[in-house]
Amino acid sequence: MPTALLRMIGQQADALDRMAGLELARPAAVLAAAGRVVLTGTGTSQHAAELGAMMLAAAGLDTRWHPAASWARWDRGPRPGDALVVISHTGETAYAARARAAALAAGVPLVSITGTGRGWPEAIETVQPDESHTYTVSYTSALAVLARLAGELGAAGFAAADVARAADAVRQVCASPDELPVPGRALAIAGCGPWGITAREGALKIREAARMLAEGFDTDRLLHGGAVPYTAADGLVLLEPSADPDGLTAALGAAAVAERVPVTVLAATDGLPPLLAQIPMTVRLQLAAERYARLRGQNPDAAITGAWDEPALWQMGAPGS
């Protein structure tokens, strides 16, 4: 019987097509009027904020991203002229909800991205709740919304037709999934720039779904100490080494081979700009996570269990807590 994770992965192409057709002139106008745009989220939504900041910067906006907990508790907060983009699929993520509540109380212009029916009136709603603890369709849909916002604001390569091409690339990925080798101990995933963000998102999916040690790195951080523990018992996946203008990603792959660490290279989908190409690459890593879960006899749909699932933990930092 297919897992909910696999069903959700399979829904992504159609969801992306729907996101391509959204009318986003109003939230785009909110962002266009801002002197600075701050994007925030937690976990997977933080990765969306990171890539979203790159997308909106391509439209000429002054953008920043922050983990929601850091923004809500440790930063000085918004300055005059800021607009805030809060990304939370559930609308219940504690620190994202706190960041939103603070923005509303202070009158800071706000754009939110959530799943459907979450009760945030200002939100751009994407898809129904992910059925698996290992979130997939909610993430790629949020990326598509951020891309479309960038397109509305004038960035080249983020029009509705471009997002539709990303959807077609996802269909191709789902039709021919990779079979990444299964490491004996741990897996490192690395790439440069936006590929490093996707590396971290992919590693998170593998950790959640397969209960397997996986880490995602920007290649420079892998070089500066991250690679030290890896041995022949592990594996290294490199994302689109040809995108690295300095050749560091490929050079680290060669160093890993010299140290007998098995290396796999995943090349990007042809024809998509680098930021949109993160969507089909993410789906390739999601499919790897689902495959690893099956091979390891794990349930990818119930990732958070035991003491980690204590409700009080998940409410800490929420508004009013």
Write the pLDDT tens digit of every residue in 260-319: 999 999 999 788 999 999 999 999 999 999 999 999 999 999 999 999 999 999 999 999
Out of 120, 144, 174, pick the residue that ends a domain.
174
- 166 vs 157: CA distance, rounded Å: 11
Residue 16, C-beta contacts closer than 8 angstroms, at least 6 positions apart: 140, 141, 144, 163, 164, 166, 167, 170, 279
H/E stretch holding 312 reads: helix 311-315
Average pLDDT, the chain: 97
> Quick one: pLDDT at residue 94?
97
Strand, coil or helix: 39: strand
Do 12 and 136 share a domain, yes or no?
Answer: yes
Do 67 and 158 share a domain, yes or no?
Answer: yes
Q: Give domain status of residue 18, yes or no.
A: yes
> Quick one: pLDDT at residue 182?
94
> Quick one: pLDDT at residue 90?
95
For residue 251, how many C-alpha atoms fall within 13 Å in the half-sphere facing its CB? 10
**What digits encode the pLDDT tens for the residues 25-38?**
999 999 999 999 99
**What digits encode the pLDDT tens for the residues 186-205?**
999 999 999 999 999 999 99
Q: How far is CA 267 from CA 72, 174, 216, 236, 244, in A?
A: 37, 16, 17, 14, 12
Do 255 and 199 share a domain, yes or no?
Answer: yes
- Position 320 confidence tier, pLDDT thresholds 50, 70, 90: confident
Q: Give domain status of residue 79, yes or no.
A: yes
Do 23 and 143 share a domain, yes or no?
Answer: yes
Out of 157, 174, 191, pick the residue that ends a domain.
174
Question: What pTM was estimated for this model as a whole?
Answer: 0.97
Q: Give domain status of residue 301, yes or no.
A: no
Q: How far is CA 5 from CA 25, 48, 207, 267, 285, in A?
A: 33, 19, 14, 24, 12
Four-residue CA torsion sign, 286, 288, 294, 296: negative
Q: Give domain status of residue 306, yes or no.
A: no
> Quick one: pLDDT at residue 1?
74
**What digits encode the pLDDT tens for the residues 8-57?**
999 999 999 999 999 999 999 999 999 999 999 999 999 999 999 999 99
Do 54 and 117 share a domain, yes or no?
Answer: yes
Angle at 121 (CA atoms; ends 75, 161), nearest 5 degrees: 90
Tell me what the mean pLDDT of segment 71-92 comes to: 95
Q: Which two tokens stand for residue 32?
A: 């266009």
Q: Give domain status of residue 320, yes or no.
A: no
Percent of the chain as helix, strand, coil, to the nearest 5: 50, 15, 35
Q: Give domain status of residue 138, yes or no.
A: yes
Do 187 and 158 share a domain, yes or no?
Answer: no
Do 251 and 227 share a domain, yes or no?
Answer: yes
Q: What percent of the chain has pLDDT over 90?
A: 97
Q: What percent of the chain has pLDDT over 70?
A: 100
Out of 174, 196, 224, pick the residue that ends a domain.
174
Do 70 and 102 share a domain, yes or no?
Answer: yes
Q: Which domain does 235 fall in, by range?
A: 180-295
Phi–psi pair at 302, nearest 5 degrees = -130, 70
CATH number of the CATH domain containing 90: 3.40.50.10490
Do 34 and 156 share a domain, yes or no?
Answer: yes
Do 154 and 227 share a domain, yes or no?
Answer: no
Q: Give domain status of residue 99, yes or no.
A: yes
Which parts of the chain are beta strand (E)? 36-41, 63-67, 82-87, 110-114, 123-125, 187-191, 214-218, 235-239, 263-266
> Quick one: pLDDT at residue 269?
79
Do 25 and 125 share a domain, yes or no?
Answer: yes
> Quick one: pLDDT at residue 321?
75
Do 117 and 262 share a domain, yes or no?
Answer: no
> Quick one: pLDDT at residue 2?
86
- Our count of domains for the chain comes to 2
Residue 62 CB burial class (10 angstroms; 0-12, 13-18, ≥19): middle
